[in-house]
Chain A
Amino acid sequence: MMQDVAVAASTSALSPIALFLQADIVVKSVMIGLLLASVWTWTIILSGSLSLSRALKASKGFESDFWKSEDIDKFYEGPGRQDIPAAKVFSAGVAEWRRSVRAGKPVDRDGTRARLANAMGAAAGAEIDRLSDRLNILATVGSVAPFVGLFGTVWGIMRSFTDIAASQNTSLGVVAPGIAEALFATALGLFAAIPAVIAYNRLLHRISKIEGQLHRFGDAIHMTLSRELERS
Chain B
Amino acid sequence: MINKAEGTGFGLSVAGHVALLVILSLNLMSVRKMPKLSEPMDVMLVDKAGLISAAPEMSQEPPQAAEAPEVAPEIVEAPPPEPTPAPPKPTPVPPKPAPSPVPAPKAKPTPPAPPTKAAPAKPAPPAPPKAKPKATSLGTDFLKGIPVQKSTGTASAPRVSAISPIAMNGLVSLIASQVKPCYTIPAGGAGVETIISRVRLRLKADGSIKVAPEVIGNLGVNGGNQPYVRQMNEAAARALQRCAPYKLPADLYEGGWEDLIFTFRPTQISS
- Listed in ascending order, the chain A residues whose CB lies under 8 Å from chain B are 1, 3-4, 7-8, 11-12, 14-17, 35, 38-48, 50-51, 54, 134, 171-172
Contacts and interface: CB of A to CB of B under 8 A. Distances in A.
A48 B17 CA distance: 18
Contacts of A3: 234, 238
Contacts of A51: 5
21 contacts: A1-B212, A4-B237, A7-B238, A8-B242, A12-B32, A14-B32, A15-B29, A16-B21, A16-B24, A16-B28, A17-B21, A42-B16, A43-B9, A43-B10, A44-B6, A45-B9, A47-B7, A50-B8, A171-B231, A172-B186, A172-B187
Given A4-B238, A35-B17, A14 B12 contact: no
Nearest first, the 5 closest Cβ-Cβ pairs linking A and B are A47-B9, A42-B13, A46-B9, A47-B6, A47-B5
Given A47-B8, A50-B8, A171-B231, A16 B241 contact: no
Contact of B25 (A11, A17, A38, A40): A17
A51 B7 CA distance: 12
Contacts of A17: 21, 25
Contacts of A4: 237-238, 241-242
A48 B242 CA distance: 51
Contacts of B174: none
B6 A43 contact: yes
Contacts of B212: 1
Given A42-B17, A43-B13, A50-B8, 11 more contacts: A1-B212, A8-B241, A16-B25, A17-B25, A39-B10, A41-B13, A44-B6, A46-B9, A48-B9, A51-B5, A134-B6
A46 B32 contact: no
A112 B142 CA distance: 105
A222 to B, nearest CB: 30
State which size class the interface on B falls in.
20 to 34
Interface in B1-52: 3, 5-10, 12-14, 16-17, 21, 24-25, 28-29, 32
Interface centre among A1, A16, A43, A134 (most CB of B within 10 A): A43
Contacts of B7: 47
A47 B238 CA distance: 52
B5 A50 contact: yes
Nearest to B242: A8
A46 B14 CA distance: 11
B21 A46 contact: no
Interface centre among B6, B32, B187 (most CB of A within 10 A): B6
B25 A15 contact: yes
Interface centre among B8, B13, B24 (most CB of A within 10 A): B13
A10 to B, nearest CB: 11
Interface in B70-121: none
A58 to B, nearest CB: 13
Contacts of A43: 6, 9-10, 12-13
A51 B21 CA distance: 27
A51 to B, nearest CB: 5
Contacts of B186: 171-172
A230 to B, nearest CB: 42
A105 to B, nearest CB: 41
Nearest to A50: B5
A44 B3 CA distance: 11
A39 B9 CA distance: 10
Nearest to B231: A171
A12 B10 CA distance: 33
B238 A39 contact: no
Nearest to A8: B242
